[in-house]
């Protein structure tokens, strides 16, 4: 019989346009990302030269309407995430942050002047955005943030002080969506608000974080604010409170839930090919029962992850997807991808740790994906709360 890598596909559930988007994204990523990613990973650099091509492919702000954005539906958007992350989680992170964490809040919480100023530039890849929520002492508990915005006079500008940490794209960002506790002039009740900080503002710097052993082809840095004066027109007018940043994270986590399936597919396909080609004890490794069991586990888990992403994608299209379902998607698919990558690594033996085999890189990357955008544990607690009505955290 003819061996086939997948017994489950979703092709027949997709529209013609979604299928074309998927094929185009795969072709682009194989042609443009695959040949350069390993070297960028080793050098800990991001392939900036690809940004205009990401824009051309509609990967920047893909699910937004207008302003030069591609207006993809949630399933088409998810399929592009699969292909980006099949190559590298850092490349998918770049597009996720630009689209879901920087453009989405400007589109959703901003006013028309802010949208017109930033979105066309960002969808064209001429302006890069980042999202500043995490701080050195505020990770899983963002409500404990210390970054503070003080209004100078009633209806006037703000002065921002604080430090954001672990910020993807910050070293190259032109615009930074920064979440800060604000006390409006004359008020003593702080509330979280979003601000658009622009490179070049006095007192603003974005030092790069060096020494990462994961997500090395993604730039990470800080946002340091020392008495930065931010015009009142740069505050996002249409959201107040923690639901602002959490709304952005729900968008990004949805894409991660799809992207993780791509990473798992990448490592599974490599492990399958490798074990079918490599011979030990006079037989291809794939001919041994223990190897087949590993392949079957990887394959079957990928199928379930893909179906979960597809199902939730259609719910999102109908406007019915809840943040708890997004936690379910991000949590389970990322864990599945991380476990798949570790298993695939073992199946390649010594070669599994080599860069040229592209598996160890996924193992290392997925350790970050497991932690960022809400850690695995925090999503477990969120789902636990949804199931019981009892909050084990807050």
- The catalytic residue positions are 373
Q: How far is the CB of 41 from ligand FAD (least distance, A)?
A: 13
Q: How far is the CB of 60 from ligand FAD (least distance, A)?
A: 16
**Per rule CB under 6 A, is residue 215 in the interface with ligand FAD?**
yes
Of the candidate residues 139, 247, 284, 323, the single one contacting ligand FAD (CB under 6 A): 139
Only segment of 38-46, 315-323, 350-358, 367-375 that touches ligand FAD (CB under 6 A): 367-375
Only segment of 49-57, 163-171, 193-201, 310-318 that touches ligand FAD (CB under 6 A): 163-171
Q: How far is the CB of 204 from ligand FAD (least distance, A)?
A: 16
**Per rule CB under 6 A, is residue 364 in the interface with ligand FAD?**
no
Nearer to ligand FAD, 176 or 306 (CB): 176
Only segment of 60-68, 76-84, 121-129, 374-382 that touches ligand FAD (CB under 6 A): 374-382
Nearer to ligand FAD, 157 or 367 (CB): 367
Of the candidate residues 87, 98, 114, 134, the single one contacting ligand FAD (CB under 6 A): 134
Task: Cite the beta strand spans of 186-310 per DSSP E.
Answer: 191-198, 204-205, 220-230, 279-280, 283-284
Query: Nearest residue to ligand FAD, using CB?
Result: 139
Whose CA is closest to 114, among 212, 196, 223? 196
Tokens standing for residue 363 = 């193992």
**Per rule CB under 6 A, is residue 327 in the interface with ligand FAD?**
no
The single-letter DSSP state of residue 210 is P
**Per rule CB under 6 A, is residue 220 in the interface with ligand FAD?**
yes
**Per rule CB under 6 A, is residue 131 in the interface with ligand FAD?**
yes
Is there a contact between 197 and 230 (Cβ–Cβ < 8 Å)?
yes
**Per rule CB under 6 A, is residue 99 in the interface with ligand FAD?**
no
Cβ atoms < 10 Å from Cβ of 186: 8
Tokens standing for residue 249 = 């994270």
Q: How many residues bind ligand FAD (CB under 6 A)?
A: 21
CA gyration radius, the chain = 21
Is there a contact between 11 and 66 (Cβ–Cβ < 8 Å)?
no
Q: How far apart are CA 62 and CA 60, in angstroms?
A: 5
Task: Cite the beta strand spans of the chain per DSSP E.
Answer: 129-132, 148-151, 158-168, 175-183, 191-198, 204-205, 220-230, 279-280, 283-284
Of the candidate residues 168, 250, 291, 333, the single one contacting ligand FAD (CB under 6 A): 168
For residues 82, 87, 89 and 90, what is the CA-based torsion angle, rounded to 10 degrees? -130
Of the candidate residues 45, 161, 183, 375, the single one contacting ligand FAD (CB under 6 A): 375
**Per rule CB under 6 A, is residue 97 in the interface with ligand FAD?**
yes
Mention every residue, 6+ apart, whose C-beta is less than 8 A from residue 155: 185, 232
Is there a contact between 93 and 168 (Cβ–Cβ < 8 Å)?
yes
Q: How many CA atoms lie within 13 A of 280 on its CB side?
A: 9
Mention every residue, 6+ apart, whose C-beta is less than 8 A from residue 157: 151, 229, 230, 231, 232
Nearer to ligand FAD, 314 or 385 (CB): 385
**Per rule CB under 6 A, is residue 173 in the interface with ligand FAD?**
no
Whose CA is closest to 374, among 246, 240, 194, 214? 246
**Per rule CB under 6 A, is residue 96 in the interface with ligand FAD?**
no
The single-letter DSSP state of residue 100 is I
Nearer to ligand FAD, 25 or 130 (CB): 130
Only segment of 27-35, 229-237, 322-330, 372-380 that touches ligand FAD (CB under 6 A): 372-380
Of the candidate residues 15, 23, 65, 140, the single one contacting ligand FAD (CB under 6 A): 140
Only segment of 46-54, 160-168, 264-272, 347-355 that touches ligand FAD (CB under 6 A): 160-168
Q: How far is the CB of 129 from ligand FAD (least distance, A)?
A: 10
**Per rule CB under 6 A, is residue 368 in the interface with ligand FAD?**
yes
Q: How far apart are CA 86 and CA 313, in angstroms?
A: 19
Mention every residue, 6+ apart, whose C-beta is less than 8 A from residue 88: 33, 37, 41, 217, 361, 362, 365
**Per rule CB under 6 A, is residue 351 in the interface with ligand FAD?**
no
Q: How far apart are CA 15 and CA 156, in angstroms?
A: 50
**Per rule CB under 6 A, is residue 167 in the interface with ligand FAD?**
yes
Residues near ligand FAD, by CB under 6 A = 97, 130-134, 139-140, 166-168, 215, 220, 368, 371-373, 375, 377-378, 393
């Amino acid at each position: 019989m003819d061996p086939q890598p997948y017994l489950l596909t979703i092709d027949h559930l997709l529209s013609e346009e979604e299928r074309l988007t998927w094929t185009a994204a795969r072709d682009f990523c194989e042609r443009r990302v695959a040949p350069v990613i390993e070297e960028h990973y080793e050098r800990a650099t991001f392939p900036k030269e690809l940004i205009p091509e990401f824009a051309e492919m509609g990967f920047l702000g893909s699910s937004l309407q207008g302003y030069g954005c591609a207006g993809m539906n949630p399933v088409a958007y998810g399929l592009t995430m699969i292909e980006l992350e099949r190559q590298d989680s850092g490349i998918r992170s770049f597009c996720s942050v630009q689209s879901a964490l920087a453009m989405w809040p400007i589109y959703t919480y901003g006013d028309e002047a802010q949208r017109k100023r930033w979105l066309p530039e960002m969808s064209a890849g001429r302006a890069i955005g980042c999202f500043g929520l995490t701080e050195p002492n505020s990770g899983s508990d963002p409500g404990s943030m210390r970054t503070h915005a003080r209004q100078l006079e009633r209806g006037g500008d703000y002065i921002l002080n604080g430090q954001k940490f672990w910020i993807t794209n910050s070293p190259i960002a032109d615009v930074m969506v920064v979440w800060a506790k604000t006390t409006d002039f004359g008020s003593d009740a702080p509330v979280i608000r979003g601000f658009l900080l622009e490179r070049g503002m006095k007192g603003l710097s974005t030092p790069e974080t060096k020494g990462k052993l994961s997500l090395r082809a993604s730039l990470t840095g800080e946002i340091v604010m020392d008495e930065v004066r931010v015009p009142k027109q740069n505050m996002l007018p249409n959201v107040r409170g923690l639901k602002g940043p959490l709304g952005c994270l729900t968008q990004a986590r949805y894409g991660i839930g799809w992207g993780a399936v791509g990473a798992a597919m990448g490592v599974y396909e490599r492990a399958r090919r490798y074990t079918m080609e490599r011979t030990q004890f006079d037989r291809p490794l794939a001919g041994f029962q223990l190897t087949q069991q590993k392949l079957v586990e990887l394959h079957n888990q990928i199928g379930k992850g893909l179906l979960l992403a597809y199902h939730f994608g259609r719910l999102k299209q109908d406007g019915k997807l809840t943040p708890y379902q997004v936690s379910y998607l991000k949590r389970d698919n990322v864990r599945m991808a991380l476990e798949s990558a570790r298993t695939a690594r073992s199946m390649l033996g010594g070669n599994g740790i080599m860069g040229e085999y592209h598996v160890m890189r996924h193992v290392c990357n997925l350790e970050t994906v497991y932690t960022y955008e809400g850690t695995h544990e925090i999503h477990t607690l969120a789902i636990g709360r949804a199931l019981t009505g009892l909050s084990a955290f807050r």
